[in-house]
Amino acid sequence: EASKSLNFIEHIVEEDLGKGFPKDKLRFRFPPEPNGYLHIGHASSICLNFGLGLTYQAPVNLRFDDTNPAKEEQEYVDAIKEDVKWLGYEWDTECFASDYFQQLYDWAVVLIKQGKAYVDSQSSEEIAAQKGTPTEAGTPSPYRERTVEENLELFEGMRNGKFKEGEHVLRAKVDMSSSNMLMRDPIMYRILYRAHHRTNTDWCIYPMYDWTHGESDYIEQVSHSLCTLEFAMHRELYDWFLDQVVDQELVRPKQREFARRNFSHTVVSKRKLLQLVEQGFVSGWDDPRMPTISGLRRRGYTPESIRNFADTIGIAKRDNVVDVSLLEFHVREHLNKIAPRVMGVLNPLKVVLTNYPEGKEEWLEAENNQEDEGAGYRKLPFSRELYIEQEDFLEEANRKFFRLKLGGEVRLKNGYIIMAESCTKDTDGNIIEVQCTYDPKSRSGSGTEESLRKVKGTLHWVSVKHALKAEVRLYDRLFTDETPDSHKDKNFLDFINPDSLKIISAFVEPSLAEGNIGDIFQFQRMGYFNIDKDSKPNNLVFNRTVGLRDTWAK
């Protein structure tokens, strides 16, 4: 929209354009590491980068930052692609940092030849011990002054598998007294005998993040490389590595940082999400309680609702926690527009209409969605025995209870006005059936005077004979604490909510037999529900996406 105000990253781009940077040279990238599934935090980065692409009509690459074969897998690459596409974005080029391994190696050789990189043969502990402190210079490695010839030979040996893991590393020769600790001769390569999901066993040395990221941006000619704040200190090194290779004729990528998003009552770190999966706290990466894109999709979230949420929270310069109820607000808002209304009774209580003829049934006309004129109508069966919600009946209640009570009237949605006459209890005193009479002239839409009669309450219901039994999965927050991973003395797993999943058996109207996996409905008065992938033709399974109201609001 033209009226939309610019975020601070867009201001940076605008400023660059103002200084003469050619608009047709703008290029962005979203750079996930394929070590897990994307989560709602990534959605912010995706919407930012692909949003810039749309704003400036510039290409956006999908770059897999795949330099750590110990943690990365093809499964994750596939899942990430599916999720980005599902969110509604199209990347220009699919790129892999691993495609640049040879180029990165060749550049490392150039650095060695220029005396700007050396092979260090100390252990990682020794190297760490020499780093110094921010106020005290580090100690140069005894191998720092190795000759170019010796470094070239050792580095080639590393690449050719002549050494064991940990025996040598390649370090950039930068500045052991820099106030930025990351500049104190950072490691560029380590030896790792691990098969890579794309390069297999071609390599037994792998480049480190800092050496890889900026050079990958440069190879792809990314103009603006956006990352989260924890990389702010890395920018100096990013620039130093670029200085070694940049050609004046080409675009020099620019790193800029924005704040990582955290969300209340959940964790967004692939490492922690993996723990939830591996330790069985959830059924998988796409468990509907997970804050992953695939979990949200399975739960019934729409791409629109996630994009609107990301747009609303925007991007920030400081870390902060976003309340997940804002995400719930956005899905509710979207589903209210698009979800067909149906009847589903979660906690059934039988109602018998004593004056309705036995054996009779009729098919009522029901509007699918009053918010959407094109949604049309469907037929809804009505008969002598119905289910209503247990909580919708009380023997006695005060005047503010607008549901069913003895001697009181309610309208059955799309059907008739009924009056409760008596009820039956089991030996424990639980109400198991309510006997009612119905007003035969009061059918909704029939045009009679009685059909227009106003009664205070309207209830949802299903016909006992026609209802389908369905499994309904009700979800609560996965963690009881608002910020489960912010406690020094406790592990985030200590805050797992033991009641985050409740499975109940419900009755739903028969039209739902036609539904497909993923279809989303509003069960009138009860919330939004979608058909889960565990559904079978004779055994429908629904997830509750979200209730109709924010039950967490005070």
> Is 33 among the residues known to form the active site?
yes
Alpha-carbon distance 45 to 78, whole Å? 19
DSSP state of 181: G
**Considering beta carbons, is residue 187 or 464 the nearer one to Mg ion?**
187
Q: Is 270 a catalytic residue?
A: yes
Question: Given phi > 0 = left and psi -120 to 50 = alpha, else beta, which region is 263?
Answer: beta
For ligand ATP, which is the closer residue by CB, 254 or 270? Answer: 270
Q: What's the closest the beta carbon of residue 290 comes to ligand ATP, in angstroms?
A: 12
Tell me the residue nearest to Mg ion as measured from the CB: 33
> CB 84 → ligand ATP: shortest distance, Å?
11
Catalytic, out of 27, 29, 33, 298: 33
Which is the catalytic residue, given 260, 299, 307, 341? 260
219 binds, among Mg ion, ligand ATP, none (CB under 5 to 8 A by kind): none
State how far the alpha carbon of 381 is from the alpha carbons of 378, 447, 467, 468, 509, in Å: 10, 20, 9, 12, 8
To the query of whether residue 385 is one of the catalytic residues in this protein, the response is: no
Tell me the closest approach of the beta carbon of residue 345 to Mg ion, in angstroms: 45
Q: How far is the CB of 492 from ligand ATP (least distance, A)?
A: 13
What is the spatial distance between Cα 85 and Cα 360, in angstroms, rounded to a whole number? 50
Give least dist CB 50 to ligand ATP, A: 12
Length of the chain (residues): 554
Is residue 403 within 8 Å of residue 410, measured between CB atoms?
Answer: yes
What does the angle CA 353 – CA 357 – CA 363 come to, to the nearest 5 degrees? 85
C-beta closer to ligand ATP: residue 244 or 269 = 269
Minimum CB distance to ligand ATP smaller for 256 or for 350: 256
Which of 146, 254, 261, 270 is labelled catalytic?
Answer: 270
- Contact of residue 41 among ligand ATP, Mg ion, none (CB under 5-8 Å per partner type): ligand ATP
What type of residue is 248?
Answer: Q
Asked whether 480 and 499 are in contact (CB, 8 A), the reply is: no
Cβ closer to Mg ion: 29 or 334? 29
Question: Min. distance of Cβ 231 from ligand ATP in angstroms?
Answer: 7
State the SS3 of 390-425: HHHEECCCCCCCCCEEECCEEEECCCCEEEEEEEEE
Nearest residue to ligand ATP on Cβ basis: 41
Can you tell me whether residue 188 is helix, strand or coil? strand
C-beta neighbour count of 315 within 10 angstroms = 19
Give the DSSP H or E segment for 332.
helix 324-338
Contact footprint for ligand ATP (CB under 6 A): 31-33, 41-42, 44-45, 65, 227-228, 260-261, 268-270
Is the Cβ of residue 218 or residue 507 nearer to ligand ATP in the bound state? 218
Residue 344 interacting partner from ligand ATP, Mg ion, none (CB closer than 5 to 8 Å by kind) = none
At residue 173, the 3 state secondary structure works out as coil
Residue ranges that bind Mg ion, judged by CB under 5 A: 33
The CA–CA distances, whole Å, from 241 to 8, 117, 168 equal 26, 11, 21
Where helices occur in 20-175 by DSSP H, the ranges are 40-56, 74-86, 101-113, 124-129, 148-159
277's contact among ligand ATP, Mg ion, none, with CB below 5 to 8 A by partner kind, is none
Instruction: Decide whether 39 or 298 has the Cβ nearer to Mg ion.
Output: 39
Question: With CB cut-offs between 5 and 8 Å by kind, which of ligand ATP, Mg ion, none does residue 171 bind?
Answer: none
Smallest separation (angstroms) from ligand ATP to the CB of 21: 22
Task: Please list the residues that pair with 364 across neighbouring strands.
Answer: 380
Catalytic residues: 33, 260, 270
